[in-house]
Structure 1
Amino acid sequence: MPRWDLHRYRDEILTQTDLLRDLLAGADPTVHVPTCPEWNLGQLARHVGGAHRWVETIVRTRATEPVSDALVNDVFGYGDEDTVQLDAWLADGARRLADAFTDAGPDTRVWTVVPDQPLEFWARRMLFETVVHRADAARTLGVGHEIDAAVARDGLDEWMSFGTVPEAYDPGTDEPLLGAGRTLRWCAGDDPAGDWFVDLTGDVPRWRHGGDEAAVTVRGPVADLLLLVYGRPVDERTEVRGDRALLDLWLRRTGCWLHE
């Protein structure tokens, strides 16, 4: 369950989109994105804007069945386009998405990729779609960027919840995730509130804030912990102690359905 309200997610999506637009202003859209190797910067922007438009369609139409997500990865016809037009397109998509959330309100129910979730699910999902790809753009351009600690914590809460859906721990799809002694701890060295414990020893995964000794412990700045779960290269700023194979399996299983 998301911990913020719809209004806060809506505003943060607009903020993060503006920060991404600032990065892209004046940049060469054909520059290759190392963390998304199939894309250049223009295509990365198209991916983010396509995701915004996909969810806007779901919310605006009050969809109760899956809606085609072709827009999300339909980026390969682009990449050498006018950056002013691309900027306007990104801004327009984020604004339309924000307006759709406002018009719908928090009590509206629509189809969600994880079943039976409130509308905040999509607002949260689009926030972190934007946050992580802003980090990709910053890395590509060799410039610094920051992720607010409260934003990063909520992103990690979301990721922890991914591990509790049946697709993540179904023993028939991959190496079993559950088992004796299987625990993980995430510790943010720069954030006293940033501590998560994942328990895979029972019949279903469980997680909570606050930690105990675990089979594998990951430590680092809270923003880098968020980027780590999305597979971004932050090894030089994070430390993993214990069962790295368990960590890799958990990350793969929890993120198997994302567009990232």
Structure 2
Amino acid sequence: MTTEKQPYAPLSHDRYCDEILAQTDLLRDHLRGADLAVTVPTCPDWTLRDLAVHVGGAHRWVETTVRTRAVEEVSEKAVEGFEGPADDDPAALDAWLADGARRTADTLRAAGPDEPCWTWSWRRDAGFWARRMAHETVVHRADAALAAGAAYDVPPELAADAIDEWLQIVTYGQRIGFDQALIDLRGPGRTLHLHATDTAPEVAAEWLIELRDEGIAWRRGHQKADVALRGPLTALLLAFYRRVPLDDARVEVLGERELLEFWLERATFG
């Protein structure tokens, strides 16, 4: 069973910091020339500009949290530039995104992964935030790419780690009783399998998820399950994060589709 007791992050702290910058640069590429007033299909309460401000604001909020070694949640009002540039010029938004990502990566590198600070999670240090902000940017970049009609792909080791992290978050949320929907994800004996069809063996991009009476258990590996979701790893990531539907031509559902739908409806955290 995979829990927080297993190795926390298969990617290095520096790699996560690198990806905050790289994924933000790719996000900025998606935004250039796009209609920033268009609604984001996967986040229908947001325009494309709203999405960008959400990502950049999250970067700055984390930077403030780590830089100040906060011991409690930081108010958004205490974060300089949190609400984005006052100027609606796309160039101002682009520069604001780039500056926030740079500041965040620099602060996280300087702190190092073990520096204590407030988080909402099972781990209270800067290493948590480096990983979280890397994947926050990965997933919201998908939202931007879908809204802008841009191509989207993620390095396999990063995509696999994003799935690991999401499973950790959902498992943690269930354990602390965050939401009744998560509590509903209990057994007995229901299993799900995720299988990436396009990765090298060393990536080990397969997962088994068990919905047990005592809670969710999961691990990387191949095993027959009640339902399987198969497809290229980036498409698997998008489907598992509910960014593309299960009917997307890039993925395939084998077995009890209703169980997978049950999971996707309830696996949420905020």
The TM-score bracket by the shorter chain reads: 0.7 to 0.9
Name the structure 1 match of 2:141.
Answer: 134
SS in 1 for 2:262: helix
- Determine which structure has the larger strand proportion and give its number: 2
Whether 1:95 and 2:108 are equivalent positions in the alignment is no
Q: Which amino acid aligns with 2:46?
A: W
TM-score by length of 2: 0.85
Name the structure 2 match of 1:254.
Answer: 267
| Deviation per residue, 1:90-111 (Å, 9 max, x gap) | 0010011011102211220111
Name the structure 1 match of 2:64.
Answer: 57
Note closer, same or farther for the CA distance 1:239–1:167 as it changes in structure 2 (3 Å cut).
same
1:252 Cα deviation from its structure 2 partner: 4.1
What stretches of structure 1 of length at least 5 have no aligned partner? none
Name the structure 1 match of 2:231.
Answer: 220
Q: Is contact 1:219–1:238 with CA below 8 Å preserved after alignment?
A: yes
Name the structure 2 match of 1:207.
Answer: 218
Q: Is contact 1:183–1:199 with CA below 8 Å preserved after alignment?
A: yes
Note closer, same or farther for the CA distance 1:201–1:2 as it changes in structure 2 (3 Å cut).
same
Q: Map 1:36-55; keep pairs closer than 5 Å.
A: 36-55=43-62
SS in 1 for 2:94: helix
SS in 2 for 1:39: strand
SS in 1 for 2:254: strand
Q: 1:245 aligns with which of 258, 262, 268?
A: 258
Rounded to whole Å, the distance in 1 between the matches of 2:128 and 2:185 is: 25
TM-score by length of 1: 0.88
Note closer, same or farther for the CA distance 1:120–1:254 as it changes in structure 2 (3 Å cut).
farther
Q: Map 1:1-260; keep pairs closer than 5 Å.
A: 1-69=8-76, 81-167=88-174, 170=177, 173-174=180-181, 176-191=184-199, 192=201, 193-235=204-246, 236=248, 237-257=250-270
1:250 Cα deviation from its structure 2 partner: 2.8
Q: Is contact 2:173–2:269 with CA below 8 Å preserved after alignment?
A: no
Q: RMSD of aligned C-alpha atoms?
A: 2.4
What stretches of structure 2 of length at least 5 have no aligned partner? 1-7
1:226 Cα deviation from its structure 2 partner: 1.2
Rounded to whole Å, the distance in 1 between the matches of 2:254 and 2:176 is: 23
Note closer, same or farther for the CA distance 1:35–1:168 as it changes in structure 2 (3 Å cut).
farther
Q: How high is the sequence identity, in percent, across the aligned residues? A: 50
Rounded to whole Å, the distance in 2 between the matches of 1:140 and 1:148 is: 21
1:78 Cα deviation from its structure 2 partner: 8.0
1:256 Cα deviation from its structure 2 partner: 2.2
Q: Which amino acid aligns with 2:161?
A: D
Q: Which amino acid aligns with 1:256?
A: F
1:196 Cα deviation from its structure 2 partner: 0.4
Q: Is contact 2:175–2:215 with CA below 8 Å preserved after alignment?
A: no
1:253 Cα deviation from its structure 2 partner: 3.8
Rounded to whole Å, the distance in 1 between the matches of 2:144 and 2:89 is: 17
Report the number of matched residues.
Answer: 254
1:168 Cα deviation from its structure 2 partner: 5.6
1:37 Cα deviation from its structure 2 partner: 1.1
